[in-house]
A and B are shown apart, each in its own frame.
Chain A
Amino acid sequence: MSDGAGTGPERESERAAGGETEPEPEPKPAPEPKPEPKSAPEPEPEPEPAPEPEPTQKADPLTDAFVDEWAVSTIVRTIVPLLIVLSALQMGSGAVLESFEEQLLEQPSLLVLVPVTIGTAGNLGSIMCARMSTQLHLGTLEFSLDNRNVRANVGAVFGLAATVFVLLGFASWGIGRVLGGTLGLVPLLTITIVSGALLAVWVVVVSSVSVYASYRFGYDPDDTTIPVVTNVCDITGVLILFAVVRVVLGP
């Protein structure tokens, strides 16, 4: 956080689109510096048996090929296989939840942690990826810790994680109390802060690796990384959370 606060407002308006940090890809920048752009609007990049023909942004909106992209069967055939793979993977974190069933039922605070951890992991991952892919398109990103953008991204992810997980510690304690749990504030804060910190490190690693890999393999990271990273972070978020729960509360 070097010369931060002062120049805020002007910067924000300048960067209307490019600096947004929403968990969705920005309005697509003109595909420039990537080797062989391959853009598919569907949010999953797994290799697909029947990939759509390239729905390039520049395509004439009236051609038949383009209208077919909007056919019900095309959309269903593209999305369903991806979601089936995804839900099979999510069974992994479901199995972890299931194995903690007794503790979860006894301590509602722990149940409160689950959706927030999943959501925050995905959010931080998509912020990281959206920013890195935009910076890659703009040519201002290098994969090095000396890069100002890299440091700003990483710093922001840590700051956001710290904010969310400290608040989460207090909130889950309060809500758990109301719902009849007995877990104390100290163990809950320990759980949320430790798992938040681990999650932030993990988000940074996964996002950087996937943006870099996507770039190296010639895919536009705008299209490929967010779905992969949010799902990976969702699933591993639960694993990290319950690994920490086990250490803090004992088996």
Chain B
Amino acid sequence: MRGYDTAFDVYRQALPVVLVSLVAGLFAGTVLGTEAMRDGIESVPGLLLLLPAFLATRGGVYGSLGARLSSGLHQGLISPTFEWSGRLRNAIVASFVNGMVVSVFIAVLAYAVLFALGRSGSLLELVLILTIAGFLSAVTMLGVLLTVMFKGYRRGLDPDNVIGPVVTTVGDVFGVVFLLVAVAITEAVL
């Protein structure tokens, strides 16, 4: 009996996850490449600048929520049903706060970088866009993550193995879509 995996074993086990993330990334990229999004990028200075930070912090906020809930489930600290109390509520409220604080921070930071580069930009516009996009992705990510984790856990899936792919794919896809929605709303409002 071999006590190790060959490169091919590893390849075969990892391929599905990597391919799912490829498809999600292509979808996100397609949304980025649409006429509407390109118009948005052109008319909102700083949008490309904050894009990587916005996408990456989705992973940070909801990945850590997922890891926390997963450890909590394994330890029996929380139960795999949705209830608005105790630790689960704390974890959800905290991730929501994290997501919103960081989104607004990114908008301010992008404005500061634009300013430092001697480019013009609108702080109000960037903050508004990221507040809307941050809020929409918080609601979606929390909903999807909790549903998938609890349903999966009750069916015997180890949540540790589910969080990563769920957070990255859902985060990428919805992150870009909500950014586009937020740009549209902001342009209509301002």
Residues of A within 8 A of B (CB): 1-5, 7-8, 11-12, 15, 17, 19-28, 41-44, 57, 61, 66-67, 70-72, 75-76, 79-80, 82-84, 86-88, 90-91, 93-95, 97-98, 101, 104-105, 108-109, 111-120, 122-124, 126-127, 131, 140, 148-149, 151-156, 159-160, 163-164, 167-168, 171-172, 175-176, 179-181, 227, 230-231, 234-235, 238
Complex contact B17–A83 (CB within 8 A): no
* Chain A residues positioned under 8 Å from B30 (CB to CB): 112, 175, 179
Answer yes or no: B122 CB below 8 A from chain A CBs: no
User: Mask for B28-51, Cβ within 8 A of A = 1, else 0?
Assistant: 111011110110011000101111
* Chain A residues positioned under 8 Å from B8 (CB to CB): 1, 4-5, 155-156, 159
Q: How far is the CB of B23 from chain A (nearest CB, A)?
A: 9
Q: How far is the CB of B99 from chain A (nearest CB, A)?
A: 9
Q: Which 8 A-B pairs have the closest CB atoms?
A: A155-B7, A108-B33, A112-B29, A116-B25, A24-B164, A156-B10, A75-B94, A90-B53
Candidates B34, B41, B98; contact of A79 at CB < 8 Å? B98
Q: How far is the CB of B166 from chain A (nearest CB, A)?
A: 9
* Chain A residues positioned under 8 Å from B160 (CB to CB): 22, 24-27
Residue of A nearest to B30 (CB): A175
Answer yes or no: B184 CB below 8 A from chain A CBs: no
Assuming A83-B105, A95-B49, A159-B7, what are 11 further A-B pairs, CB within 8 angstroms?
Answer: A21-B13, A24-B161, A75-B94, A94-B110, A104-B41, A115-B25, A119-B21, A122-B168, A123-B168, A152-B10, A231-B56
- Bound-complex Cα distance A98 to B59 (A): 22
Candidates A19, A23, A91; contact of B168 at CB < 8 Å? A23
Size class of the B contact interface (CB-based, 8 Å): 35 or more
Complex contact A23–B56 (CB within 8 A): no
* Chain B residues positioned under 8 Å from A57 (CB to CB): 71, 75
Answer yes or no: B154 CB below 8 A from chain A CBs: no
Total residue contacts A-B, CB cutoff 8 A:
287
Complex contact B109–A4 (CB within 8 A): no
23 cross-chain CB contacts under 8 A = A4-B6, A23-B168, A24-B67, A26-B161, A43-B67, A61-B76, A75-B68, A87-B53, A88-B109, A91-B50, A95-B49, A95-B113, A95-B117, A97-B49, A111-B38, A114-B51, A118-B56, A155-B6, A156-B7, A156-B10, A172-B26, A175-B26, A179-B30
Residues of B within 8 A of A (CB): 2-15, 17-19, 21-22, 24-26, 28-30, 32-35, 37-38, 41-42, 46, 48-53, 55-57, 59-61, 63-64, 66-68, 71-72, 74-77, 86-87, 90-91, 93-95, 97-98, 101-102, 105-106, 109-110, 113, 117, 158, 160-165, 168, 172, 176
Complex contact B60–A94 (CB within 8 A): no
Residue of A nearest to B34 (CB): A179
* Chain A residues positioned under 8 Å from B46 (CB to CB): 98
* Chain A residues positioned under 8 Å from B51 (CB to CB): 94, 97, 114
Complex contact A105–B49 (CB within 8 A): no
Q: How far is the CB of A142 from chain B (nearest CB, A)?
A: 12
* Chain B residues positioned under 8 Å from A44 (CB to CB): 60, 64
* Chain B residues positioned under 8 Å from A20 (CB to CB): 13, 161
Complex contact B6–A79 (CB within 8 A): no
Complex contact B4–A86 (CB within 8 A): no
Residue of A nearest to B45 (CB): A98
Candidates A43, A88, A97, A153; contact of B60 at CB < 8 Å? A43
Q: Given the interface contacts A23-B168, A160-B18, does A87 sit within 8 Å of B9 by beta carbon?
A: no
